[in-house]
Amino acid sequence: MAAMVPMEVAEQVLEDLNNARNLDDIVSEVREKTGLDAKSAESYVTRLFVENKDRIALSQKILADLADARNMDDIVREVCEKADMDWKRAETLVNRLAAENEDKITISQSPVLVMLALFTFISGVTLVIFAISQLYQVYSASTETFLFEMLFLGMNGQVLFWSLLLGVAMILGSLKGMTRIWAAILERFGRDL
């Protein structure tokens, strides 16, 4: 059976197993590329999984740690200890898995990032509304209170300016930060559709 499966298919299956891809999808892909029947393709994928389960488990642990936003050095240190690898090789493995699964990691971190971005966006909007409402009060003041409003603006002008600037920066930063998350989500769902 192994002779019927090209080496690049075997490498792709191992990579898919390392990246925790759905087993049914992997079996279907093997069937497409090799012409094997369903039972043969499933047994081939299962055999590769069993032969490489320690490596696959290590890759899945690394992906879980990356999704939990653990310190990269701590992850590399753990890989060195568990897989008996030198630092450079372990670091290369962790970086490769991080690069190959960036979208998956981003999506798993997105609930926290979405909440943070939403809080930042709402805070920014609040600051902008505060600054604009204060400026509006100054410019819409009647002639009787105009002097008082100008005095208020003179004393608090810097506060209003920096509130407005900070609010706009928070809104733009929140939107910029979310573009990576939305791109990852759309790419993931686009691939699944």
The SS3 call for residue 86 is coil
- Residue 85 and residue 155 share a domain: no
Q: Are residues 119 and 92 in the same domain?
A: no
Q: Which of 101, 123, 154 is the endpoint of a domain? A: 101
Comparing 40 with 192, the larger pLDDT belongs to 40
Supply the pLDDT for residue 158: 74
pTM value?
Answer: 0.48
Average of per-residue pLDDT values in the chain: 79
Determine contact, residues 44/1, Cβ cutoff 8 Å. Answer: yes
Is the CA virtual torsion 95, 100, 103, 104 positive or negative?
A: negative
Residue after which a domain boundary falls, among 66, 101, 136: 101
* Whole-Å CA distances, 87 to 73, 90, 97: 10, 5, 15
Q: With bands split at pLDDT 50, 70 and 90, how would you rate the model's confidence at 147?
A: low
Q: Do 97 and 117 belong to one domain?
A: no
Helix then strand count (H, E) for the chain reads 8, 0
Domain end residue (candidates: 45, 75, 101): 101
CA 102 to mean position of chain CA atoms: 6
113 shares a domain with 140 = yes
Q: How far, in Å, CA of 167 to CA of 164, rounded?
A: 5
Residue 166 has pLDDT above 90, yes or no: yes
Residue 18 scores a pLDDT above 90: no
Distance CA 121, CA 124 (A): 5
* Domain interval for residue 96: 2-101
